[in-house]
Amino acid sequence: MTAVGLGKIILLGEHAVVYGYPALAAALDRGVTIAAVPTPAGGSLRIDIPAWDLRVLATDDHPVSRALLAICDELGVGRPAVTLVGDAQIPHSAGLGSSAALAVAVARALLAYQKRPASPKEVLAAANASEALMHGRASGVDVALAMAGGIGVFRKTTGLQPFPSVPLRVLVGPSGAARTTSAMVDKVADATHASADDKRLRELGGLTDIGAAALVAKDLPALGAAMNRAHEILAGLGVSTEQLDSLCEAARVSGAHGAKLTGAGGGGAVIAIAPRDREQAVLTEWKNAGVTGFVATVGGGA
Ligand code: MEV
């Protein structure tokens, strides 16, 4: 059986979500798939994802190995002699939730291998344990989306509250510049003294409310305006780069309603919302800048 974990985009609220503010986020229709197959001759637990050039043993000194062991411990499955063979339809280290997608798929695959039901509570706990190792103080938004799909508002205290929305077309531009989420989360902690009272974090949280209401009202220009402002604040907090700024600017100049970095920043991906007849212009500008973007349709009761 093949287990799935979905990638995600954050439309509004990244970083502020770590401090308890809401984030508006959506699962992508792609992510990571994992099948657990017995390792020949009873060899040790390992993971093999050719699409990411990733092949590690659970005992290796590698972040993915440590995450894998954390998942096994949380699930209480021991160290089964299996190879977790995977495929990935999203790049890693790109702000698209690859580590959470991997953790969810691995947890589901291990439970399926042991013929245990994929209890959402257990999968959530296991994937969060993995994310805590990978990213330090992760909010849990990536795991929630990787499991549930759809679109919704996530808060650390209440989890994901899905809401029905018209399908939303989002242009996604993976910049190709890798970064680590934990370093960006630390950067924001330094800039804000890790205080939820910081007015920039507060404004990011407010923009999530504005953007979610705009999305429900199908007011894409208002959603775009909130995204533009969020990018400005995130840049002020030090998590944008010249490349991300210029990809966002290129999208706006090409007629997008709005554009911003998505996820932790410092590299990773940008997203844009554009009128349908401007989408190709945005993608072409990104292509000219060396970035192959794609259109993701999110929400829509998925
Ligand atoms: C990562 O996708 C988004 C951050 O807000 C971190 C988190 O919420 O875990 C930067």
Determine the residue of 185, 186, 233 to mutate for testing ligand 1's pocket, defined as the one with the most ligand atoms within 8 A of the Cβ atom: 185
The helix (run of H) or strand (run of E) holding residue 249 is helix 242-253
DSSP result, 139-184: -SHHHHHHHH-SEEEEETTTEEEE-----EEEEEEE-S----HHHH
Q: How far is the CA of 54 from the centre of ligand 1 (A)?
A: 23
- The pLDDT, as a whole number, for residue 40 is 77
Cα–Cα distance measured from residue 235 to residue 45, given in angstroms and rounded to the nearest whole number:
41
* Pocket lined around ligand 1, Cβ cut-off 6 Å: 10, 14-15, 17-18, 97, 135, 138-139, 141-142, 181, 185, 263-264
Give the model's pLDDT for residue 302. Answer: 42
Strand ranges for the chain from DSSP E: 2-12, 23-38, 46-49, 54-57, 82-88, 151-155, 159-162, 168-174, 258-262, 269-273, 294-298
pTM across the whole model: 0.94
Q: Look at residue 301 in the predicted model and tell me its pLDDT.
A: 59
d(CA 16, CA 3): 31
Domains, the chain, with CATH or none = 2-155 (3.30.230.10), 162-298 (3.30.70.890)
Q: 243: burial class by Cβ within 10 Å (0-12, 13-18, 19+)? A: middle
Q: Which amino acid is at 254?
A: S
Contact 17, 154 (CB under 8 A): yes
Distance 238 CA to ligand 1 centre (A): 15
Structure tokens at 171: 């242009």
Q: Distance, CA 123 to ligand 1 centroid (Å)? A: 19
Q: For each successive 10 residues of the chain (302 residues), what is the average pLDDT?
A: 95 97 96 93 90 96 96 97 96 92 98 95 97 89 96 96 88 91 94 97 98 95 98 98 98 98 96 98 98 92 50
Question: Residue 229 and residue 231: Cα distance in Å, rounded?
Answer: 5
Looking at residue 14, what DSSP letter applies? T
Site to probe by mutation for ligand 1, drawn from 139, 156, 240, 260 as the one with most ligand atoms within 8 Å of Cβ, is 139
Per-residue model confidence (pLDDT) at position 143:
97
Q: Which atom of ligand 1 is nearest to the CA of 138?
A: 9
